[in-house]
Amino acid sequence: MSRYIKLNLDLEEIDLYHFSDLHVGSKAFHEDAFKEVREDVIDNPKAKVIFNGDATEGKTIDSSHFNPEGLKPGQLNIQKQADYFTELWRPIADKTISFGEGNHDMYLMPNYDVMHNVCKDLNMEAVRGGYQTWVDINEGELILFNWHGRPALPRGAKDPIQREANQRAWLKNRLEGLGSAHAMYMSHTHACLIQPPIEKYSLIPSGENVKGRYFKESEYMIGGEKFIPVDARWYVNTGTFRRTGMFDYTDYSEIAGYAPAPIACTKTKIRNGKIKKIKKVIL
Cα separation, 151 vs 169, in Å, equals 14
For residue 176, report the phi and psi dihedrals to the nearest 5 degrees. -65, -25
Instruction: Name the residue ranges covered by the structural domains of the chain.
Output: 2-197+233-282
For residue 114, report the phi and psi dihedrals to the nearest 5 degrees. -55, -50
Q: What would the 3-class secondary structure string for the chain be?
A: CEEEEEECCCCCEEEEEEECCCCECECCECHHHHHHHHHHHHHCCCEEEEEECCCECCCCCCCCCCCHHHECCCCCCHHHHHHHHHHHHHHHHHHEEEEECCHHHHHCCCCCCHHHHHHHHCCCHHHECCCEEEEEECCCCEEEEEECCCCCCCCCCCCHHHHHHHHHHHHHHHHHHHCCCCEEEECCCCCEEEECCCCEEEEEEECCEEEEEEECCCCEEECCEEECCHHHCEEEEECECECCCCCCCCCHHHHHCCCCCCEEEEEEEEECCEEEEEEEEEC
Share of the chain above pLDDT 90, in %: 77
pLDDT score, position 245: 73
CA 3 to chain centre: 15
Domain 2-197+233-282 CATH (choose: 3.30.70.360, 3.40.50.2300, 1.10.630.10, 3.60.21.10)? 3.60.21.10
The residue that leads in pLDDT, 198 or 65, is 198
Cα separation, 249 vs 97, in Å, equals 37
Average pLDDT for residues 121-145, to the nearest whole number?
A: 98
For residue 78, report the phi and psi dihedrals to the nearest 5 degrees. -65, -45
Q: What does the pLDDT look like over 46-71, one tens digit per residue?
A: 999 999 999 999 987 777 778 888 89
Please check the confidence at residue 21 and state whether its pLDDT lies above 80: yes
Q: What does the pLDDT look like over 216-234, one tens digit per residue?
A: 888 888 888 899 999 999 9
Please check the confidence at residue 200 and state whether its pLDDT lies above 80: yes
pLDDT score, position 172: 98
The residue that leads in pLDDT, 82 or 152, is 82
Please check the confidence at residue 25 and state whether its pLDDT lies above 90: yes
